[in-house]
């Protein structure tokens, strides 16, 4: 059986180090909740679009990604863009979120329920979590991702237990997917 790391390495093997940063539309929709400074980590962030966008905004950004190929490309993208970015090659399915006292944690298009439940423990008091993941309703229009990678209706706020939900939306987003999007804060 192919490991997650190998599967994602294969996917990113032909990618190049573009300086164009295209963060998820859901992140842009929730950007008003971001602080202007602080430490931010993007979980399962692929080639680093979210983390690089956070760095462009002045945050000390870290990318956590299972694919070492993606981490190498993200490092090169940061260098070419003259941005500071820490990359951490890390398997979230077997290890907890690295570090703690994060000011911002982002997670888009990655469903791992134990990881989502642990976000509260990794945020500092007053820290912000921004999460966007497709729901099971997505299957009405799209064959993929399969149901095991999709949230049930209203599940996301429950997974972010211990956080105060400041925005929660579940709908057909303008970018074509039925997504749950949550901005949440760790209470003071």
Residue-wise pLDDT for 114-165, tens only, equals: 999 999 999 999 999 999 999 999 999 999 888 999 999 999 999 999 999 9
Residue 47 lies in a domain: yes
Residue 17 reports pLDDT greater than 80: no
Residue 83 lies in a domain: yes
CATH of the domain at 114: 3.40.50.150
E-strand ranges in the chain read 39-43, 60-65, 85-89, 102-108, 123-134, 164-172, 178-185
Total domains present in the chain? 1
Name the DSSP class of 152.
Answer: P
Residue 111 lies in a domain: yes
H or E element at residue 29: helix 25-29
pLDDT confidence of residue 20: 73
Residue 29 lies in a domain: yes
Residue 15 lies in a domain: no
100's CB contacts (< 8 A; 6+ apart) are 121, 122, 124
Residue 180 lies in a domain: no
Residue 46 lies in a domain: yes
pLDDT confidence of residue 9: 54
Q: 3-state SS of 64-110?
A: EECCHHHHHHHHHHHHHHCCCEEEEECCCCCCCCCCCCEEEEEEECC
Token pair belonging to 160: 């972010």
Predicted structure pTM score: 0.93
pLDDT confidence of residue 7: 66
Mean per-residue pLDDT for 97-115?
A: 96
Per residue in 54-98, pLDDT (tens digit) is: 999 999 999 999 999 999 999 999 999 999 999 999 999 999 999
What burial letters (b/e) apply to 124-159, b meaning 16+ CB within 10 Å? eeebbbbbbbbbebbeeeeeeeeeeebbeeebbeeb
pLDDT classification of 101: cutoffs 50, 70, 90: very high
Question: What is the Cα–Cα distance from 136 to 167, expressed in whole angstroms?
Answer: 20
- Using DSSP, state whether 11 is helix, strand or coil: helix
pLDDT classification of 175: cutoffs 50, 70, 90: confident
140's CB contacts (< 8 A; 6+ apart) are 178
What is the extent of the structural domain holding 52?
4-10+21-171
pLDDT confidence of residue 21: 78
pLDDT confidence of residue 174: 85
Residue 40 lies in a domain: yes
**Is-cis flag, bond preceding 11, omega within 30?**
no
Question: What mean pLDDT, rounded, does the chain reach?
Answer: 92
């Amino acid at each position: 059986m192919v490991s997650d790391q190998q599967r994602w390495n294969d996917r990113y093997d032909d990618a190049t180090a573009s300086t164009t940063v295209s963060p998820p539309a859901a992140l842009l929709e929730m950007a008003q909740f971001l602080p202007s400074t602080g430490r931010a980590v993007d979980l399962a962030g692929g080639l680093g679009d979210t983390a690089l966008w956070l760095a462009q905004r002045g945050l000390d950004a870290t990318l956590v990604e299972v694919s070492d190929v993606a981490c190498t490309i993200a490092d090169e993208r940061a260098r070419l863009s003259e941005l500071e970015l820490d990359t951490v090659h890390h398997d979230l399915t077997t290890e907890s979120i690295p570090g703690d006292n994060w000011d911002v944690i982002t997670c888009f298009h990655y469903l791992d329920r134990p990881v989502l439940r642990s976000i509260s423990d990794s945020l500092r008091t007053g820290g912000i979590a921004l999460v966007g993941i497709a729901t099971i309703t997505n299957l009405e229009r799209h064959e993929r991702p399969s149901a095991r990678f999709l949230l049930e209706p209203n599940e996301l706020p429950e997974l972010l237990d211990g956080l105060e939900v400041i925005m929660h939306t579940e709908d057909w987003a303008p970018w074509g997917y039925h997504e749950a999007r949550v901005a949440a804060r760790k209470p003071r």
